[in-house]
Amino acid sequence: MIPMSFLLLAWLIFVAIFVLFAILTIAVHIRFGISNPITTVSAGIFLTVSILVILATGIYFLQVDWSKNVGLFNANSFGTQQSVSEFEL
Amino acid sequence: MFDLQHLPNAVPGEKIVHFLRRHPITLLPVAFGYLLVTLIPIFGFGYLFIYEPNITHNPVFFPVIILLSSVIFLFAWLILFHMFMDYYLDIWVVTTRRILSIEQTGLFNRIVSELRLYRIQDVTAQINGFLHTVLNFGFLEIQTAGEKTRFVFEEIPRPMTVSKSILELSEVDRREHLDESIENLGGKP
């Protein structure tokens, strides 16, 4: 059983890596791209969609109970510890 | 259109004749990728909400699905933007005095090469394959005197027209360069 908070931590690490690469990518795109609307619009679309996805996921995660555990290797026990014990009872 | 002031080491009196990128059709895999990345989550989550409501109401399984799919989406989005950037930042500029090749490979590799038109020895245009022939795009190789390295314009539109234009421009530039050299040596052109 893996605590769900570990998965949240892994997600945060992945998002941090994504943000780092996204900043570098946008910096290169703006610096070396020709100063015309396509450069600005493409960078804007990329940033807007990325921010929307991270925000939407973050807002959903605020409602999740991260104190539960995940059973990854046993399909029958995939779920909370409580639900497994209820099933056994 | 491209502004001359953005060109590195501008030569006085030069004018832009061709501003080239790869043919837009080469962006088709990127467009297809964007389509997949956008449609898969819409249809995937739509399917789950309609046909598998027990999964969407599971307090553990569904957050894990959201977590994984958001990470996969974000990195796919980043990779696709990199592919677009690779297309967008690779440019070839032909002016009345020189040829500039600007190629971006990855985030940290950028190659800017310059070639004076009077140094051009031969130009080869290549159109290979069905799609290249139908849409009239292909490769252009420029060979300079005494150098092994060649300038390669990759998958540019109308390579035959561009090669003809480059040969004409190089002829004009060669004549002007010869006149300048004779003037510098003190003779009459």
Phi-psi sector, B155: left (phi>0), alpha (psi -120 to 50), beta: left
β-strand partners of B98: B116
Q: How far apart are CA B129 and CA B80, in angstroms?
A: 26
- How confident is the model at residue B28, as a pLDDT? 93
State the DSSP H helix or E strand holding residue B124, giving kind and residue range, or none if neither: strand B120-126
First-residue to last-residue Cα distance in chain B: 36
Chain A residues in contact with B107 by the CB 8 A cut-off are 21, 24-25, 28
pLDDT, one tens digit per residue, over B1-41 is: 455 556 667 777 788 899 999 999 999 999 999 999 989 98
The shortest CB-CB distance from B60 to any of A21, A60, A79 is to A79
State the DSSP H helix or E strand holding residue A59, giving kind and residue range, or none if neither: helix A37-62
pLDDT over 70, % of chain B: 92
Residue B44: CB atoms within 10 A of its CB come to 12
Chain B residues in contact with A28 by the CB 8 A cut-off are 85, 89, 104, 107
Q: What is the CA radius of gyration of chain B?
A: 25
Cβ contact A57–B70 (<8 Å): yes
- How confident is the model at residue B61, as a pLDDT? 86
> A23 — contact with chain B (CB < 8 Å)?
no
- How confident is the model at residue B106, as a pLDDT? 83
- How confident is the model at residue B77, as a pLDDT? 94
Mean pLDDT confidence for B81-106:
91
- How confident is the model at residue B39, as a pLDDT? 92
Q: How far apart are CA A11 and CA B131, in angstroms?
A: 42
- How confident is the model at residue B148, as a pLDDT? 64
Helices (H), chain B: 28-51, 53-56, 61-88, 130-135, 159-184
Mean pLDDT rounded to a whole number for chain B: 87
Helices (H) and strands (E) in chain A, counts: 3, 2
Mean pLDDT confidence for B119-129:
91
Q: How far apart are CA B98 and CA B154, in angstroms?
A: 18
- How confident is the model at residue B32, as a pLDDT? 93
Chain B residues in contact with A68 by the CB 8 A cut-off are 59-60
- How confident is the model at residue B55, as a pLDDT? 87
Q: Are residues B10 and B53 in contact, defined by beta-carbon separation less than 8 angstroms?
A: no
Which of B27, B30, B70, B80 is the best mutation test for A, with the most CBs of A within 10 A?
B70
pLDDT, one tens digit per residue, over B158-189 is: 999 999 999 999 999 888 888 777 777 766 55
| Segments of chain A with pLDDT less than 50 | 76-89
Q: What is the ipTM of this complex?
A: 0.81
* pLDDT exceeds cutoff 70 at B78: yes
pTM across the whole model: 0.81
> A19 — contact with chain B (CB < 8 Å)?
no
Residues 108-137 of B with CB under 8 A from A: 110
pLDDT, one tens digit per residue, over A2-26 is: 888 899 999 999 999 999 999 999 9
Q: How many Å lie between the alpha carbon of A23 and the closest alpha carbon of chain B?
A: 11
Which of A20, A46, A63 is the best mutation test for B, with the most CBs of B within 10 A?
A46
